[in-house]
Amino acid sequence: MLYGKLSELPEKEIRVLIERGGELTNVSDTVSSILADVRIEGDMALRKYTQRFDGAKIDAIEVSREEIEKAYNTTDKELIKHLEIAAGNIRKFHEAQMPEKMWFMQLAPGIELGQKITALDSVGAYVPGGRASYPSTALMTVVPAKVAGVRNVIMCTPPGPDGKVNPLTLAAAKVAGADHVYRVGGVQAIAAMAFGTASVMKVDKIVGPGNVYVTAAKMQIRDMAEIDFPAGPSEVLIIADESAHPAMVAADMIAQAEHDPHAVSVLVTTSEKLASGVKEEVLKQAQSTVRGEIVSSSLKNAAILIADSIEQCIDISNSFAPEHLEIMTKNDDMVLEKIEHAGSIFVGNYAPVPVGDYASGTNHVLPTAGYARMYSGLNIMHFLKVSSIQRISKEGLATIRDTVISLAEKEGLQAHADAIRIRFSRSE
């Protein structure tokens, strides 16, 4: 764990922290090979790689309706209730994001301009497995797609060694409204959704988080399907002052660390006392966590940095562009106002990242590794297309005729200019 005053730490170490990532190039060749296999061999390749990477022999790639219904009916009713509460909150938040489906404005007499919103035809949701099951990700990816009006929403998730998908994930898929669920994960799942196979529907867009292999696969198939953004190992940056409680800050760092050995947890604070207390608490809490081995590995990527001012904390955060940003300061409005790059922002001592992971309603599928500088977290617009509209009368066209003709001829596009002239040379 990196610890100390920013003014005293080597610049190289701070740069390595901020410029984290870069693993995509390390797995590029492996990913390319798997993508090519699935493109050529289809379902045969899906079965081969599922046995190799998940240790599961599978026959039917699609999970049957009966299996989904059984998972839903045998899941503890209290858990179903909580899935439905979370799904309801996610639905409400994303419904609030929905833009007006069509609008017009009058630019000038005879010239109406407008916009039409249309949902994508098909979307593939990737729900990770492996070290843990993520029914919450099924809700986060499928629910907003359905709110947007996507007709076909499919879901891919890895099976366990027995070839079965985690029942709670299947129950979440039913609650969310997934149209099809496939027991396939990893690079092969991304390939199947991008190219299509005999069993898996080809989709227009793929969304959802994953490990470095999944992220690299998403980046490589963009000529076949659109993606949301790179979403790799999870991370949190916490801006805190002396008003924050060390145990709470430490708990939030540990919570992030238990996701993945490559997860990153960072505290930037103006208080040396808080920094010391958080370090002590992190080491103590790490000893009692259930996923101790993962947390121990992840904390090697962690940092507790002491800044000279709250402005320096903000500068570090904006340079880092975290997936999750927590603000635990007395004047949180001022800090929030100055934040420029963050996937999702949690304000106050009682807004830890897990509320957004599960139940507050905001989306937990977010850009990582600094990609929050140019990407937004998953939202309703990821599932929609925008078409511009122009409705123009002859009188309206007359007002811009000379401009269009002049610019078209200047660009050497005579037919463009003639397409305008002909409308005024004909008698109607």
Active-site positions? 323-324
Q: Which residues pair with 264 in a beta bridge?
A: 235
What is the C-alpha separation between 419 and 409, in angstroms, rounded? 12
Taking a C-beta distance cutoff of 8 angstroms, is the pair 91, 147 a contact? yes
Q: Which stretches of 196-236 are DSSP H helices?
A: 212-220
What pLDDT score was predicted for residue 153?
A: 98
Please give the average per-residue pLDDT across 78-93, as a whole number.
Answer: 98
Give the DSSP H or E segment for 335.
Answer: helix 332-338
Per-residue pLDDT band for 359 (boundaries 50, 70, 90) equals very high
Burial of 95 from C-beta contacts in 10 A (0-12 / 13-18 / 19+): middle
pLDDT score at 233: 81
Predicted local confidence at residue 260, as pLDDT:
84
Cα–Cα dist 137/139, whole Å: 5
Residue 74 CA, distance from chain mean position? 30
**pLDDT tens-digit map of 270-283:** 999 999 999 999 99
Percent over 70 (pLDDT), the chain: 98
pLDDT category, 211, cuts 50, 70, 90? confident
Structure tokens at 156: 């891919």
Residue 121 clears pLDDT 70, i.e. is over it = yes
Q: What is the pLDDT of residue 130?
A: 64
Round to the nearest angstrom and report the end-to-end CA distance of the chain. 79
In this prediction, residues 384-407 reach a mean pLDDT of 97
Give the residue from 135, 136, 171 showing the smallest Cα distance to 63: 171
The C-alpha atoms of residue 228 and residue 201 are separated, in whole angstroms, by 18
Q: Which residue has the higher pLDDT, 427 or 4?
A: 4
**Percentage of the chain exceeding pLDDT 90:** 92
Return d(Cα 399, Cα 266) in angstroms, integer: 58
Q: What is the pLDDT of residue 20?
A: 84
402 pLDDT more than 90: yes
Report the pLDDT value the prediction gives residue 133, as an integer from 0 to 100: 79
Model confidence pLDDT, tens digit, residues 329-358: 999 999 999 999 999 999 999 999 999 999
The pLDDT tens digits of the residues spanning 173-195 come to 999 999 999 999 999 999 999 99
Q: Where are the beta strands (DSSP E) in 171-318?
A: 180-182, 205-207, 226-227, 235-240, 264-269, 303-306
Q: Contact, 180 vs 149, CB < 8 A?
A: no
